Amino acid sequence: RKEVEQDPGPFNVPEGATVAFNCTYSNSASQSFFWYRQDCRKEPKLLMSVYSSGNEDGRFTAQLNRASQYISLLIRDSKLSDSATYLCVVNGGGSYIPTFGRGTSLIVHP
Amino acid sequence: SQTIHQWPATLVQPVGSPLSLECTVEGTSNPNLYWYRQAAGRGLQLLFYSVGIGQISSEVPQNLSASRPQDRQFILSSKKLLLSDSGFYLCASFSRTDTQYFGPGTRLTVL
């Protein structure tokens, strides 16, 4: 079983839609969680950290469910500029090495 | 905040030629540093990481090597490139807030 799993998509949604991605992780000792965004042919960039209490940044909401070992990202009122690949990242559990998911592709169309 | 520099941005090299990619980090000291490779349409593959000067851990056996001659400098090298070495090479640093930052990457094409 892969350590961090994501649905690769693509998720094809119209502008204004709400879309949600999930990411599951296998290491119950994981301590920190992040969502990154990667545009085509660019480096990944931090979108937001995921806290136990959940956190919101504008149209983006991230949630952590430790019991079920998954994190989620909700994007409201999708914009064309949200089209990208969203990477789930899990850190900790005694390792220096963050574990990346393969990414979920989002395409927002007019 | 941290800034990661990588160069060159794009590189086209013939099979069998050597390679040297450099990464430098500003805005932090004693960072953990990482080299990743991303093939077209694929996920990130960790190649090497370093927790300090001269300390290199290899994740994937291959014809690449890495060195860390200074605290904020990380170099990826090869003596003879293979076609399969083509990809997008990313240097990353692990911050004190447990967040990874990436450099802009080098797109390598081996012909």
pLDDT in tens, B11-61: 999 999 999 999 999 988 889 999 999 988 888 999 999 999 999 999 886
Q: Is A98 exposed, middle or buried (0-12, 13-18, 19+ CB in 10 A)?
A: buried
Q: What percent of chain A has pLDDT over 70?
A: 96
Are A43 and B102 a contacting pair at CB < 8 A? yes
Cα angle: B46, vertex A22, A54; to 5 degrees: 100
Residues A67-110 have pLDDT tens digits of 999 999 999 999 999 999 999 999 876 677 888 999 999 999 99
Q: What are phi and psi of A87, to 5 degrees?
A: -105, 135
Angstrom distance (rounded) from CA A4 to CA A72: 13
Q: What are phi and psi of B85, to 5 degrees?
A: -80, -10
**Which chain B residues are within 8 Å of A55, Cβ to Cβ?**
none
Checking if the pLDDT of B95 tops 80, the result is: no
**Which chain A residues are within 8 Å of B104, Cβ to Cβ?**
42-43
For A32, name the nearest residue in chain B, comparing CA atoms only.
B98
Contact A102, A6 (CB under 8 A): yes
Among B29, B55, B25, residue whose Cα is nearest residue A96: B55
Asked if residue B8 has a cis previous peptide bond (ω within 30° of 0), the answer is yes
Are A101 and B98 a contacting pair at CB < 8 A? no
Which residue(s) pair with B33 in the sheet? B50, B93
Average pLDDT over residues A31-48: 94
Angstrom distance (rounded) from CA B50 to CA B9: 22
**Which chain B residues are within 8 Å of A100, Cβ to Cβ?**
43-44
**Which chain B residues are within 8 Å of A103, Cβ to Cβ?**
43
- Please tell me if residue A93 touches chain B, with a CB cutoff of 8 Å: no
Residues A3-27 have pLDDT tens digits of 899 999 999 999 999 999 999 999 8
Task: Give the minimum alpha-carbon distance from A83 to chain B in angstroms, rounded to a whole number.
Answer: 15
